[in-house]
Amino acid sequence: MVKRKDAAQPAAKSPATTPPTAKVAPPQQRPPAAGGVAEQQQPSKFRFATLLFRIASLAFALYTLYKRMYPPPSTVDLDLDNKARIRHAPIERDPLRQDAVLEAFKHSYRAYEKDAFGSDDYHPISHRGSNMSPAGPVGYFLIDSLDSLLLTGLTDEYRRARDWVEKLSFDLDDKFHTFEITIRVLGGLLSAYHYSGENDQMLLDKAVDLADRLLPAFETPSGLPMSFVNLAQRQGIPDPDNRGMTSVAEAGTLQLEFKYLSHLTGNRVYRDKVEKVMEVIRAQPSKDGLVPIFMTPDTGSFVLSDIRLGSRGDSYYEYLSKQYFQTNRTEPVYRQMHQVAMRGIAQHLVKKSTTRGLVYTSELLPRRNAATGQIELVDTPKQDHLVCFLGATLLLGVTDGNTLPVPPDESQFDEHETDDWYLGKQLIRTCVDTYVETKTGLAPEIVYFHTHPNDAKKYGREWFINSRKPGPDQEPPIDARNILRPETVESLFVAYRVTGDPIYREWGWKIFQAFEKHCRLPGGGYASIRDVDELPVRHEDRMETFWISETLKYLYLLFSDADVIPLDRYTLNTEAHPLPNFTPKYW
Ligand code: DMJ
């Protein structure tokens, strides 16, 4: 209608429709009577233009404000204090993003099920599986996946996996890693038992059988576990590669699994073994809560070795507060150990990068001073990706296991809580930086931070990948890999749950998209990459079990409601197997 009217109205003015004889007087020559309309049109046109301009300005101002408050998902906003962005909405499921993660999970697990069902390791490029021992599979991959299948509702796949477990025998005549089998297989069985309604007795029986076969690892003069155990012969085996020493992460990351088993069975022997380990560690002198990575099971003492939060140290620090949360906060000794260790970390390991002030943790390496002959601890600005669990540990510690409202009232924090809160958030931001600053958007295994501002400027990043040889045909260093590790997304999940700040979801989404782009294989599964700074990427023929059990699970939870695995009622073991908190009845 409007269009037709508009088309008809100007006909008299249109040269195309005006008869050639018609004369159109210039506006100034029009007589007042005929020109009254024309004169009135001028100011109304002007008013209309002004109005349009005002509306456009207002719209632009509103749009600018909106963009500042809700940056588009592709923007990587690394400013933690961006007041315009920070808003705290209730934690609700993000269906689009969670479905995308679910699709990635199906693409991963179904490829494993098709190519390698029951195998301990999966090689998605050659479409095959392999086992850690010629004695047979130990359920390393499959049992590590069980609770993820339940969580994501893949019930048919779960049923097939559960039936495979029923036929599995742990009577395997070979040595297996005490720590790895505990966190993946024992933890996986216990979590699946809980999530399947605590009535599938087969799963609990399997857990008891496995734990009984692991117990001989603790038969040492000190009670510290040996690194390996022969499951068929029920015999502990010291680590041949490290002169029989055990690492503090191996010894201090068995507690959640063994204590929960005691709670379920009423048999306190499992708890007593792992509690004894903690007593041995506690009895040793530490550097403000920081401990060397190696101990000797013969004497129960520390051996002069690196102090670090990465490999061989990491999950010891993770399990301190988690032991406190697991038993419904009835064992305050672990809260205290956690707090002392966090102070020690802040005092001795936390550093700031030279130009952008990124907060990271360094390592302390014992070296003999040539001049004095004394052993000194030398600070090394190296940070493993493994260290990225620490942000979650710090934040969860402040909220006492997510028991505070979200977001918590920061003005109520004491001095140490404020420090830990700030430090946790800063460390997470740095971990995200090691993703978004690479060519692939994926983080390397290990970074070193520049200690001179000129180097950071010269190389364009605050950190670098060590041992990279110049030249196009050089093999990338092992530090440059990304093997689908979970620690950063683990911290993003926890940070989102305890702060409600949507920036953590944005960062997690960005990382997920990079995995999608560079690690997803069209034929099924996801693969590690050899160099995070190389395009196109080169894949390695391996999909780690923790991609399923941890990385994808944390991403799935990052986009879920807060009541899916509520953190005030569940404690996740270091392999992301959720175990319910309980009040001890048997000790
Ligand atoms: C996992 O097996 C566990 O999280 C362990 O504590 C350390 N690292 C891997 C994943 O990176």
Among residues 239, 331, 479, 487, which one is catalytic? 487
Phi and psi, residue 61, nearest 5°? -65, -45
The ligand 1 atom at the shortest distance from the C-alpha of residue 318 is 6
Residue 385 DSSP one-character state: G
Which residues are part of a known binding site?
Answer: 574
Q: Write the residue with the smallest CA distance to atom 5 of ligand 1.
A: 574
Kindly compute the dihedral angle of the four CA atoms of residues 187, 221, 327, 323, in this order, to the nearest 10 degrees: -70
pLDDT digits (tens, 9 = 90+) for 494-521: 999 999 999 999 999 999 999 999 999 9
Pairwise CA distance, residues 569 & 145, whole Å: 22
Q: Say whether pLDDT at 284 is over 80.
A: yes
Pairwise CA distance, residues 555 & 567, whole Å: 15
* pLDDT greater at residue 566 or residue 31: 566
3-state secondary structure of 122: strand
Supply the pLDDT for residue 62: 82
* pLDDT greater at residue 135 or residue 60: 135
pLDDT digits (tens, 9 = 90+) for 533-543: 999 999 999 99
For residue 410, indicate whether it is catalytic: no
pLDDT exceeding 90 applies to what percent of the chain? 82
Both tokens assigned to 299:
């004497």
Tell me how many degrees the CA angle 388-418-499 measures, rounded to the nearest 5. Answer: 60
Supply the pLDDT for residue 45: 77
Identify which of 145, 485, 542, 571 to mutate to test ligand 1's pocket (most ligand atoms within 8 A of the CB).
485
User: Are 316 and 280 in contact, with CB atoms under 8 Å apart?
Assistant: no
Supply the pLDDT for residue 89: 72
Using alpha carbons, select from 210, 204, 226 the residue that is nearest to residue 295.
Answer: 226
Residue 37 burial class via C-beta count within 10 angstroms: exposed 0-12, middle 13-18, buried 19 and up? exposed
Which residues are part of a known binding site for Ca(2+)?
Answer: 574
Residue 234 Cα to chain centre, angstroms: 35
- 485 CB under 6 A from ligand 1? yes
- CA 51 / ligand 1 centre spacing (Å): 62
pLDDT digits (tens, 9 = 90+) for 259-268: 999 999 999 9
Mean pLDDT of 17-24: 34
User: Half-sphere exposure of 104 toward its Cβ, with a 13 Å CA cutoff?
Assistant: 29
Both tokens assigned to 301:
């003492």
Q: Say whether pLDDT at 31 is over 50.
A: no
Pairwise CA distance, residues 558 & 399, whole Å: 18
pLDDT digits (tens, 9 = 90+) for 285-321: 999 999 999 999 999 999 999 999 999 999 999 999 9
Q: Say whether pLDDT at 14 is over 50.
A: no
Categorize the per-residue pLDDT at 66 as very low, low, confident or very high, splitting at 50, 70 and 90: low
β-bridge partners, 360: 351
For residue 257, indicate whether it is catalytic: no
Mean pLDDT of 36-51: 65
Pairwise CA distance, residues 5 & 360, whole Å: 69
Q: Say whether pLDDT at 488 is over 60.
A: yes
- 385 CB under 6 A from ligand 1? no
Kindly compute the dihedral angle of the four CA atoms of residues 83, 88, 89, 93, in this order, to the nearest 10 degrees: 100
Residue 518 burial class via C-beta count within 10 angstroms: exposed 0-12, middle 13-18, buried 19 and up? buried
- 581 CB under 6 A from ligand 1? no
Categorize the per-residue pLDDT at 44 as very low, low, confident or very high, splitting at 50, 70 and 90: confident
Using alpha carbons, select from 328, 200, 224, 316 the residue that is nearest to residue 276.
Answer: 224
pTM of the model: 0.86
- CA 485 / ligand 1 centre spacing (Å): 8
Supply the pLDDT for residue 443: 98
pLDDT digits (tens, 9 = 90+) for 105-127: 999 999 999 999 999 999 999 99
Supply the pLDDT for residue 213: 98
Among residues 257, 306, 314, 479, which one is catalytic? 314
Pairwise CA distance, residues 439 & 204, whole Å: 46
Q: Say whether pLDDT at 325 is over 70.
A: yes
Q: Say whether pLDDT at 195 is over 70.
A: yes
* pLDDT greater at residue 68 or residue 324: 324
Please name the helix (run of DSSP H) or strand (run of DSSP E) that holds residue 513, with its range, or none: helix 503-518
User: Are 139 and 129 in contact, with CB atoms under 8 Å apart?
Assistant: no
pLDDT digits (tens, 9 = 90+) for 143-187: 999 999 999 999 999 999 999 999 999 999 999 999 999 999 999
Lowest mean pLDDT among 30-39, 258-267, 289-298, 524-533: 30-39
For residue 445, indicate whether it is catalytic: yes
For residue 475, indicate whether it is catalytic: no
Q: Write the residue with the smallest CA distance to atom 10 of ligand 1.
A: 485
- 250 CB under 6 A from ligand 1? no
Supply the pLDDT for residue 29: 38
- 187 CB under 6 A from ligand 1? no
The ligand 1 atom at the shortest distance from the C-alpha of residue 389 is 4
Supply the pLDDT for residue 50: 86
Supply the pLDDT for residue 49: 84
Using alpha carbons, select from 215, 395, 431 the residue that is nearest to residue 310.
Answer: 431
pLDDT digits (tens, 9 = 90+) for 337-362: 999 999 999 999 999 999 999 999 99
Supply the pLDDT for residue 86: 62
Q: Say whether pLDDT at 16 is over 90.
A: no
* Maximal C-alpha separation, the chain: 118
pLDDT digits (tens, 9 = 90+) for 231-248: 999 999 999 999 999 999
Pairwise CA distance, residues 441 & 257, whole Å: 34
Mean pLDDT of the chain: 90
Categorize the per-residue pLDDT at 381 as very low, low, confident or very high, splitting at 50, 70 and 90: very high
Categorize the per-residue pLDDT at 9 as very low, low, confident or very high, splitting at 50, 70 and 90: very low
Q: Write the residue with the smallest CA distance to atom 6 of ligand 1.
A: 574
